[in-house]
Structure 1
Amino acid sequence: MGTVQIRDVRKSYGSVEVLHGVSIDIEDGEFVALVGPSGCGKSTLLRMIAGLEDISGGEILIRDRVVNGIAPKDRDIAMVFQNYALYPHMNVRDNMGFALRQRRVSKAEIAERVDNAARILGLEPFLDRKPRQLSGGQRQRVAMGRAIVRSPNVFLFDEPLSNLDAKLRVQMRSEIKELHQRLKTTTIYVTHDQIEAMTLADRVVVMNGGVIEQVGSPLELYDHPASLFVAAFIGSPPMNFLEGDLTNKTTFTLADGTTLNLPVADPKNRSQVTIGIRPEHFTIGDSGWPATVSVVEPTGSETQITARLAGKIIRVLIRGRTSTKPGETVHLAVDPRLLHFFDAAPVPIVAELEDVA
């Protein structure tokens, strides 16, 4: 059973606390992604699970065994790093079998495990090549193969696709997901890319400032964000936000005095709220909120529109194509079931989140 239990785990560097009591239970065979902006503590937490960082407080259990203080080699985990960490003087076969040779596994078993991993990863034609003779994607497959041959209870991935170009990242995402479906090994995957987290994981852990903001399936986070931070971080293009007062249940007054009629009342009956609307949940029609189009960006299968609504920049995503032009006034309606209400608070700076995502 490759279960991992993280119980009130804390990490401090001197007087600076970077993890503030993190608790997660990861089931056997589950794929969990830790996601968040740079500095949120996700990589630190992964390194603590691996035994590469000391634990300042709390407990980490792997297969119901407390591993605080246990050496990384004795935790029955395998880690795939961002920079591949391959030995340049060894060929692919020797790189993949190195850890097994260190454990004095028989040559016959090493050969069997390496050949099996190479077959799974499509590396059979490259077993005699050195890392310098491989592409970035092939090197990452070798790093994954080195982890597979160890048959660990838990795989740990530390931003493994960050060094690849956009097209190769998409391909490798698919390969990692297929690999997990085949091996069904418990996997913990760290990334700052929310698209990676959403497409790969069974559950996503959104971290911010050393704490967990929300844990849930990708669609739970997308459809029901628990905080403004999660709402702003999950989704591309990001969610639109409008801050204002509810002068009655459905009359929403923005800071400049503009009033908007909401299609539904705030379920918590607050007087000050921030409302959120995802770009794809707007429809353009004959009625709704008037907005002036600034930019139209056709991408083929969809069109992104940037507009101004009461002085606020908003983004609208239209499936297909539109004849709308910059300077035009359009009317935006939203399905009341898809409107999000949050406590009034400063909205996270989405541009900064996009930069690290």
Structure 2
Amino acid sequence: MAVVAIREVRKKFGSAEVIHGVSIDIADGEFVVLVGPSGCGKSTLLRTIAGLEEISGGEIAIGDRVVNDLPPKQRDIAMVFQNYALYPHMTVAENMGFSLRLRGASKKEIDTRVRPAAEILGLLPLLDRYPRQLSGGQRQRVAMGRAIVRNPQVFLFDEPLSNLDAKLRVQMRTEIKELHQRLKTTTIYVTHDQVEAMTMADKIVVMRDGVVEQVGAPLDLYDRPENLFVASFIGSPAMNVLEGRIAQDGSATFVTSAGAVLPLAHAPQGSAGRAAVYGIRPEHIGLANDGVSAEVVVVEPTGAEIQVFARIKGEEINAVFRERHRFASGDAIRLAPDPAQVHLFDSQTGRRIEGADPDQTLGEERRLEKTT
């Protein structure tokens, strides 16, 4: 196990810079997820840590060694790829022990390392099979087992679940998290799926266009996004965002561009008339007789919840209810956003507007509890 320090790392392909001075500190034994949309630079950053891509500037340290100029085999890392990269002519046991064989390890040593890893992953009955005889989930376990037997300082995962069906992805992400809790090996995991990031990570790094937008624990990013991009990206279904202006006529409210009046628990002093973006998560919208008039557009029952897509003065908003309301398209309902759960962002910069929280002291206490 080891700490990983990424300092002002840049990466260029020709004249095009795709990573712009990224700095991340990863603690010993931490499970860190790099997440972001396609093309944000997360896989490229992972490949620079692995040594598969040379950096154009900055520094990468694993443990107490700067590894900028070291080849992959000397970095003491193990990587699990999206396509598994198994040798089809080798058995499960041979695939798992191949890296040890390349190092000249004895058959006894290889068997001593392979069998415990296979037991952890439930692969003991499959050691004599070939990859073509395995399911997608079993192949992924073999790829993970090949990484485990190397006993590296750092595990690197590059979108390992993207080729699996939905049910198997849920199962495998639980198994990967359980494996990390058992081995305590520093892990860096790349995905574009923010649900994977939220459920697996100790710490999430949200990237966009080669820069880091925010770093933090999953619920910290969810509860207090620093900007509009993070607010919209983290969370499924996504946060509702409505443009408009802050109004203060006796009490603070928000008036959307279409003229709908939405509740605010608090607004920063002197912000009346300020252009802003109003953010509210779907689960923080309820029903109330004094709520905002809305028209149901689409109802999506998912079993445990019901998602309702509605329009408020022509603007679409999504609400999630645990109760089994029997709404139909065209129904008139009254939606009531919880003022205590509203997020405000600057219209120009997209940054969070500080001072908009209803109780800053309580918020600080909650954040302190999460870190202790």
Q: TM-score range by the shorter chain?
A: over 0.9
| CA distance in structure 1 between the aligned counterparts of 2:46 and 2:262, rounded to whole angstroms | 46
1:252 aligns with one of 250, 254, 271: 254
Which one-letter code corresponds to 1:327 in the other structure?
G
Structure 1 portions without partners, runs of 5+: 348-357
**Cα distance in 2 for residues equivalent to 1:108 and 1:341:** 62
Q: Tell me if 1:62 matches 2:62.
A: yes
- Aligned-partner Cα distance in 2 for 1:106–1:345: 63
Per the alignment, residue 316 of structure 2 pairs with 313
Does residue 1:177 correspond to 2:177, yes or no? Answer: yes
Match of 2:87 in 1: 87
Q: Which whole-Å CA distance do the structure 2 matches of 1:167 and 1:315 have between them?
A: 25
Q: Deviations over 1:10-35 (max 9, x none)?
A: 00111110000000000000000000
1:323 deviates by: 2.4
Query: What amino acid does structure 2 have at the position aligned with 1:328?
Result: D
- CA distance in structure 1 between the aligned counterparts of 2:260 and 2:253, rounded to whole angstroms: 7
Q: 2:297 aligns with which of 294, 298, 303?
A: 294
Q: How does 1:1-357 map to 2 (within 5 A)?
A: 1-248=1-248, 250-256=252-258, 258-267=259-268, 269-270=270-271, 271-345=274-348
Q: Per the alignment, in what secondary structure is the counterpart of residue 287 of structure 1?
A: strand
Output the CA distance in 1 between the equivalents of 2:321 and 2:120: 40
Shift of residue 345, structure 1, vs aligned partner: 4.1
What do residues 318-337 of structure 1 show as CA deviations (whole Å, max 9, x unaligned)? 01311222212211112222
Contact 2:253/2:264 (<8 A) preserved: no
Q: Percent identity among equivalent residues? A: 65
Distance 1:285 1:9 in 2: 51
Q: State the Cα distance separating 1:254 from its structure 2 match.
A: 2.3
Q: Give how far 1:105 is off.
A: 1.5
Cα distance in 1 for partners of 2:188, 2:200 equals: 11
Give the secondary-structure state (helix, strand or coil) at the position aligned to 1:169.
Answer: helix
* Aligned-pair CA distance for 1:346: 8.8
Distance in 2 (CA, whole Å) between partners of 1:219 and 1:203 is 10
Aligned to 1:353: none
Letter in 1 for 2:254: F
Q: State the TM-score, normalizing by the size of structure 1.
A: 0.94
Deviation at 1:222, TM superposition (A): 0.5
Instruction: Tell me which moved more, 22-31 or 282-291.
Output: 282-291
How many residues are matched? Answer: 346
Q: What amino acid does structure 2 have at the position aligned with 1:333?
A: A
**What CA RMSD, in Å, does the superposition of the two structures yield over aligned residues?**
1.3
Which deviates more, 338-347 or 212-221?
A: 338-347
Q: Match of 1:277, as an amino acid?
A: I
Deviates more, 1:55-64 or 1:284-293: 284-293
Structure 2 residue runs without a partner (length 5+):
351-372
TM, length-normalised to structure 2:
0.91
